[in-house]
Every structure is written in structure tokens, then in C-alpha cells.
Structure 1
Amino acid sequence: MFFDTHTHLFDERFQPDLPTVLERASTAGVSRILCLGIDRESNHTAVQLAQKYPQVWAAVGLHPNYLQAVQPGDWDDVVRLAEREPRVVAIGETGLDRYWKDTPLPVQETYFQYHLDLARRLGKPVVIHCREAQEQVVRLLRQEYDRHGPIRGIMHAFSGDRITAQNCWEMGLHISFAGMVTYPKADSLRQVVPEVPLERLLLETDSPYLPPQPVRGRRNEPAFLVHTAQQIASLRGLTCEQLAEVTTANARALFGI
């Protein structure tokens, strides 16, 4: 049974049929799902979904692309949820994004550090977004590692090169692959997959985004994780059953589930 370690089930595209989406996931062999908030409202919705559906857990944070809309008290609300809600098993999604220009990079870096500090204090993993900011993310993570030691967390929807991946797993992080690894032009990303230590490997959909190639153009959902899993299993020389066993064990250990 697979663990989808990154979804946004609060998205309005899931409102009409979320129970059916979760049924399809279960039928496809995806038995555990992490739903990550990106702002104050979605953090609360993620927690509510985790309380309602036993196969769903929550992560709370402020996504770098939404920081320009942060209001007073939003970060304090993240802290309260992370401290008090037992279904919150991770901090994030956080990180840096240089593709979109809505939030100045210094602001993104400040909040990234807030998330790292909170995750370390609570002993929960941090989920990291990195888009066109590999050098900056690795630099901040290296500072964190040098001060405090290994970092529990996930490089989500990894799209970087082998050197970036190695830097991350050597600092204690897990590497999570999404549907991008199935895209025809993703040969360089597929070359990274066999290099990642098996104990640091995770799978995700990033639903409703990044649908795998066989369902490209459709709303992504947790059931489609199997397409990514088939690609990863082939690259690793594993069966899908073996990959499911390893990656689910990795996720459960990381999240304490």
C-alpha cells in the first residue's frame, strides 16, 4: 500500500467528489495521504480533513508564493495548530520559489527559517518547496545543518540535479518524486532516481498538480500515484510491491505514523 506524501486535498477542484477521490485512491493501493496547507484557511481545512478521514494526515505552513498575503497572526496560527493538533505530523509547505516573483526572496528566506525552527523544536519533519532556487535552499539548509545537525524533512516534488539531491540526503532529508519523473523530457531527473538511497526515497502526487504522463491534462489525484510508482520501480529495478513497502515504511517512520 502506497503513501502519497504530498497533496492539496483542500483545493476547490476536490470539493465536488472528495469521498470518491479517496475511494479511488484506496482501490489503487494508496492507503495513506498527507494533505498540506499553504495559508491560514487551507491549514485549517487540512486539519479538518485529517480529522474526518482516517487515511489523511495534515501538515501546516505558509507557502512562499502566498506570503505576500500573510496577515498578522497567521504564523502564530500555524504554531498553534502544529503544537496542539495530533493529526498534524509535518511542517510546511515552506521553502523558496524564484519562478514566481510575488514574494521578495528575503521574506521567503525569513519564513523558511521560521518553519525550520518550528519543525526542529517540535521534532516534526519539514516539507520543502524549491523552484529555481536550488543554490539558495541548499545554502540555508547547510546553515541549519551546521548549527543543529541532521534535518528531518522532505525535498518535495524533487526536480533538481544529483549534486543537489546528494547535498540534501547527506543532511538527513528525504527525496520525494512526483509525476514530473514520468514526463518525456525528464531524462535528467530520471537519472537521479537510482542514486537516492532507498531509505530516503518517497513518492507523492502534489494533487491536484503535476499529473503523471498517462493522465497529463487531467486533475491529478492520489490514485494516480501508481503511474509515478511504476516509473520509479522500473528505474530502481524493483517491483511496485517492493517500492510500496519501502517508501511507505520510510514515510511512516518520518511522520511517526
Structure 2
Amino acid sequence: MNESKSSIIDSHCHIVFSNFNEDRELVAQRWRSQGVKALIHACVEPSEIPAIKSMADQFEEIRYSVGVHPLDAHHWDDKTLNILKNAALDDSRVVAIGELGLDLFKSENLSEQLSILMPQLKLAFELNLPVIVHCRDAAKEMLEVFSKLSKDGCCPKGVMHCWSGKVQEMRQFLALGFYISFSGNVTFKNAIDIHDCAKEVPPSRFIVETDSPFLSPVPNRGKRNEPSFVKYVVEKISELRGESFSEIAEKTTQNARELFALP
């Protein structure tokens, strides 16, 4: 396994969260030492945007998204869409809209979640930006939304972040043009469905992420996750696919660059 020369992109993290306040510089040193050349910082609601932007000023590897998470629907008001649009137009480091989507695991307010999802999807299509999709216990509903937009010719491209679905669901999202992103849960021993997806996903359509500070991979399960740990995700996928570490690192880096139009 030749890790030393491999560059990796962590395609989804949240290092703006307060549990990084004490050691963010050290966290950056560690991701650099592990070959993490770029990070996509996901946004969950608009009040985070100034802090994420300032973090992108501090760490040149950071690009970011702007959006409202389905569990943060209560942060949406009549000014939100304009805030997101202006933030995206104002900074070329904004490479996606999100983290948006549906979460029927932690909440059942489907109509409220849809009411903030649809304008964000329209905005992404209008600005020609990909979407970062959070989808938990809601594959059927999410597929219905995307299928309709696709039929109408206005479905944005994007990624199903922190994939935890079944192979059949993955095939449907792939057919609609979406990428699949694997996070620390692919390293869990009993994550059989995710393992099957990692083996089957086409080489040009998957990326890797940490979702820091959540879902720390084995061997750090239960600890705070951080971008340097993305190497364990790459390791596990290389084992599952029977390919070298550097092959998976190279493929996922190339795929992330294409999806997010990274330099």
C-alpha cells in the first residue's frame, strides 16, 4: 500500500464546529501530513457562512457549500434563499449548494423539509452548482423529487453524501447522474449494504469524506472525527474493491475535482 505520495480530498467536513476550537491548527497539520490536499466544508444553516468563509481564508485547501440542512428547517425564512444565492455569487470558493436533503430518521416533518429543499435545488440548477445531499431513511421520497426534476430537465448534479443505503437505491441515484460519497461508516464491520455498494459503484462515480466531527472510522470509532482520518475510508474501499490505496485515492480525487470543479 503506497500511501506516501497519494493525495486525497475530504469531500465533506464540518470543522467550524466548536469541538475544533482548541486545536484547529493541529488538525490542519495532521490532514496535510496525510496527503489531504483539499476539503469541502459543508454548511448546515446560513449563520455559519461567515465563519466558514473565514476558515477558507485561514486554510487555503478549503472550498465550501452554502445551504440549509433538513433538520435545520426552522432556520429558513423569506430572506434565506437570497442569502444563499448572494453568498454563492460572492465567493468563487463556494462550490456547491447544501447540505440539503431529507431526514425522516430524526424528524417526520416531510412537508416542511420539502418546502426548504425545492428552492435550494432550483437555486443549484440556476447557478450550475452541484448539490450535497443528506438522505436518511428517505431514499424513496428523495428519488421521487429527483426523478420529477430530471423529467422536467432541471435536476442539478450532485452527491449522495455519507452513503448508507442499499445497492438497489444506489443504482437509482447513479442512473439520475449522482455521485456516491463514502464516509467512516464504510469501515464498520456490520455495514454489509455499504460494503456491497462500495464494491459495485462505478470507478468514475464515487468520492470519500469524513463528515467530521461525526462517524469516526475504525480504528478511531467513538472519537471525534477529523479530515486526516479520511485515509481509513480510502483504505477500507481499496480492501473491498481489491485495488491499491493509491488507485482509490487517485480516482476519488479526480472524481471530486470534476464534481466540484476544483482547481
Do the structures match in fold with TM over 0.5?
yes
Asked whether the equivalents of residues 203 and 251 of structure 2 are also in contact (C-alpha less than 8 Å), the reply is yes
The one-letter code matched in structure 2 to 1:61 is G
Provide the aligned C-alpha RMSD in A.
1.3
Asked whether the equivalents of residues 207 and 219 of structure 1 are also in contact (C-alpha less than 8 Å), the reply is yes
Q: CA deviation at 1:52?
A: 2.3
The one-letter code matched in structure 2 to 1:117 is K
SS at match of 1:214: coil
Q: 1:242 aligns with which of 240, 247, 257?
A: 247
Q: Which residue of 2 aligns with 1:2?
A: 8
The one-letter code matched in structure 1 to 2:178 is L
Cα distance between partner residues in 1 of 2:42 and 2:127: 17
Q: Which residue of 2 aligns with 1:192?
A: 197
Asked whether the equivalents of residues 146 and 155 of structure 2 are also in contact (C-alpha less than 8 Å), the reply is no
The one-letter code matched in structure 1 to 2:106 is W
Q: Which residue of 1 aligns with 2:99?
A: 93
SS at match of 2:219: helix
Q: Does residue 56 in structure 1 map to residue 62 in structure 2?
A: yes
Q: Which residue of 2 aligns with 1:80?
A: 86
Q: Does residue 65 in structure 1 map to residue 64 in structure 2?
A: no
Cα distance between partner residues in 2 of 1:90 and 1:117: 13
The one-letter code matched in structure 1 to 2:64 is A
Cα distance between partner residues in 2 of 1:139 and 1:72: 26
CA deviations 1:91-137 (Å, max 9, x no partner) are 10000001112x72111112211121111111111000001111001
Q: 2:177 aligns with which of 167, 172, 192?
A: 172
Asked whether the equivalents of residues 125 and 154 of structure 2 are also in contact (C-alpha less than 8 Å), the reply is no
Residue pairs, 1:1-257, within 5 angstroms: 1-101=7-107, 104-148=109-153, 151-257=156-262
Asked whether the equivalents of residues 151 and 173 of structure 1 are also in contact (C-alpha less than 8 Å), the reply is no
Cα distance between partner residues in 2 of 1:110 and 1:245: 38
Asked whether the equivalents of residues 204 and 255 of structure 2 are also in contact (C-alpha less than 8 Å), the reply is yes
Asked whether the equivalents of residues 61 and 94 of structure 1 are also in contact (C-alpha less than 8 Å), the reply is yes
The one-letter code matched in structure 1 to 2:101 is G
Cα distance between partner residues in 2 of 1:7 and 1:153: 16
Which ranges in structure 1 are unaligned for 5 or more consecutive residues?
none
Asked whether the equivalents of residues 150 and 172 of structure 1 are also in contact (C-alpha less than 8 Å), the reply is no
Q: CA deviation at 1:149?
A: 5.9
The one-letter code matched in structure 1 to 2:93 is R
Q: CA deviation at 1:179?
A: 0.5
Percent sequence identity over aligned pairs: 32
The one-letter code matched in structure 1 to 2:69 is H
TM-score (norm: length of structure 2): 0.94
User: Runs of 4 or more off by more than 6 Å in structure 1?
Assistant: none
Kindly tell me the number of residue pairs found equivalent between the two proteins.
256
SS at match of 2:72: helix
Cα distance between partner residues in 2 of 1:153 and 1:48: 25
Q: CA deviation at 1:69?
A: 3.3
Asked whether the equivalents of residues 51 and 87 of structure 1 are also in contact (C-alpha less than 8 Å), the reply is no
The one-letter code matched in structure 1 to 2:103 is D
Cα distance between partner residues in 1 of 2:152 and 2:96: 21
Cα distance between partner residues in 2 of 1:89 and 1:251: 11
The one-letter code matched in structure 1 to 2:85 is V
TM-score (norm: length of structure 1): 0.96
Which ranges in structure 2 are unaligned for 5 or more consecutive residues?
1-6
Cα distance between partner residues in 2 of 1:59 and 1:215: 27
Q: Report the more deviating stretch, 198-207 or 108-117.
A: 108-117
Higher helix share: 1
